[in-house]
């Protein structure tokens, strides 16, 4: 690809006076544009991904009406914590059994358009010997892959973190594409109690932008996830203030890295008060603040806003999403939930084979509820007490 790009750039025509010239395409949908200022000694070259058409198509497929994303990309260590909560040992066989339960739930594709996988799962087969990826595709669910390498302390910051994983990302994303993945996810976080410092915000934005550009170059639609952690006792206005700054920085660097906005998905936090704030927000307040911020910061070219739940209860996350879909939006406003889809399902299963169907039914209940919320038709009637329990964990490590 690098050699092809070099050849392409050498052969691209260049003219002065700010005229844009379309060069040869690497693949269908690829284009190179060369701009030279009359007094500039060198050209500024911007190349769209050779997968541009495919990226747009994939993003639109995931951002389809009434559907959202199942985030099941917990690392093996995090998956182990989930299994431990129901008394199961963290073994590959137990992780395989649970993931098989999730991907094979009958009719899941009616409500779920994409599933984010951990690397082990991308290459794993179900307990029946069928590739997990193939099971998802048969359900009309696009397979995705978590590509970041986790959070580590950020030197020079106020006890904040940065996300690692850019080293070797190009070769990894190319291999994931060959394995059947068509979108990727990179999660970085910003902590309000710890600042956030300008350094942490810039590091988060730059990392997301570099990841997005590399992913698109490999044919993967990047999910851009700048999570504003729920930790803290701050009010909703403070969350809005911080998120406004973070989102501005993220989209500035996405543009600087020539990321195709039509070929990404944004996975932000909803604008809510801190989890320890005494003043709780109603779903309508969360919707008002969040939609106001979306309109201020997110270009309508972005096809989908796939919210994370971030420790909200299953019902709370669904009610908030429903409130945001009471009138038309420029984007597909939907969900990319992990715990808010899986919590009741996991507890219903309990590691017992005889409970698989009941657990899958619990998953489908949550998936359908959020499908209705994406359409603005969720009522909240008949929800269990378990689904109403909050799942915030202070200092949660993913």
Say what the pLDDT of residue 11 is.
36
- Listed in order, strand segments (DSSP E) in the chain are 21-22, 32-35, 44-47, 68-72, 112-117, 142-146, 151-153, 161-163, 183-190, 221-228, 265-266, 304-307, 332-337
Instruction: Give the closest residue to 117 by CA, choosing from 101, 136, 130, 104.
Output: 136
Task: Describe the crossing of helices 314-324 and 339-349 by its angle, rounded to 10 degrees.
Answer: 150
The mean pLDDT value of the chain amounts to 87
Residues 227, 148: contact at Cβ < 8 Å?
no
Handedness of CA 51, 57, 63, 69 (dihedral sign): negative
* CB-CB contact of 306 with 223 (8 Å): yes
Is residue 236 within 8 Å of 289, Cβ to Cβ? yes
Catalogue the active-site residues.
Answer: 225, 267
Predicted local confidence at residue 388, as pLDDT:
54
Q: With a cut of 70, which residues of the chain have pLDDT below it?
A: 1-49, 382-398
Give the class (CATH, top level) of 51-378: alpha beta
The residues spanned by each domain of the chain are 51-378
- Contact 335/64 with Cβ under 8 angstroms? no
Q: What is the pTM of this model?
A: 0.85
DSSP 327: S
* pLDDT tens-place string over residues 84-134: 999 999 999 999 999 999 999 999 999 999 999 999 999 999 999 999 999
* pLDDT for residue 355: 98
Q: What is the pLDDT of residue 1?
A: 46
């Amino acid at each position: 690809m690098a050699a092809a790009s070099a050849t392409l750039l050498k052969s691209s025509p260049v003219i002065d006076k700010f005229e844009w010239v379309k060069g040869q395409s690497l693949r269908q949908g690829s284009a190179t544009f060369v701009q030279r200022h009359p007094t500039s000694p060198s050209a500024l070259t911007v190349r769209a991904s050779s997968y541009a058409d495919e990226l747009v198509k994939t993003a639109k497929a995931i951002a389809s009406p009434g559907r959202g994303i199942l985030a099941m990309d917990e690392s093996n260590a995090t998956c182990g914590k989930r299994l431990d909560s129901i008394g199961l040992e963290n073994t590959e066989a137990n992780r395989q059994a649970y993931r098989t339960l999730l991907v094979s739930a009958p009719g899941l594709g009616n409500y779920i358009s994409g599933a984010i996988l951990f690397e082990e799962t991308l290459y794993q087969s179900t307990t029946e010997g069928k590739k997990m990826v193939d099971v998802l595709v048969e359900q009309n669910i696009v397979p995705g892959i978590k590509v970041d390498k986790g959070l580590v302390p950020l030197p020079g910051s106020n006890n904040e973190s940065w996300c690692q994983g850019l080293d070797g990302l190009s070769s990894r994303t190319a291999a994931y594409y060959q394995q059947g993945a068509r979108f990727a996810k990179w999660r970085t976080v910003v902590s309000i109690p710890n600042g956030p410092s300008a350094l942490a915000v810039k590091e988060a934005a730059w990392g997301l932008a570099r990841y997005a550009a590399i992913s698109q170059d490999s044919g993967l639609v990047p999910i851009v996830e700048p999570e504003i952690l729920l930790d803290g006792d701050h009010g909703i206005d403070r969350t809005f203030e911080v998120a406004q700054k973070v989102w501005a920085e993220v989209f500035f660097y996405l543009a600087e890295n020539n990321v195709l906005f039509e070929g990404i998905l944004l996975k932000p936090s909803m604008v809510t008060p801190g989890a320890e704030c005494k003043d709780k927000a109603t779903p309508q307040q969360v919707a008002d603040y969040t939609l106001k911020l979306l309109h201020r910061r997110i270009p309508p070219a972005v096809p989908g806003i796939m919210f994370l739940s971030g420790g909200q209860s299953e019902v709370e996350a669904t009610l908030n999403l429903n409130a945001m879909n009471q009138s038309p939006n420029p984007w597909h406003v939907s969900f990319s939930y992990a715990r808010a889809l899986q919590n009741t399902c996991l507890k219903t299963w309990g590691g017992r084979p005889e409970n698989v169907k009941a657990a899958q039914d619990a998953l489908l209940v949550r998936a359908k509820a959020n499908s209705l919320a994406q359409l603005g038709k969720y009522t909240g009637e008949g929800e269990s007490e378990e689904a109403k329990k909050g799942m915030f964990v202070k200092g949660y490590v993913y």
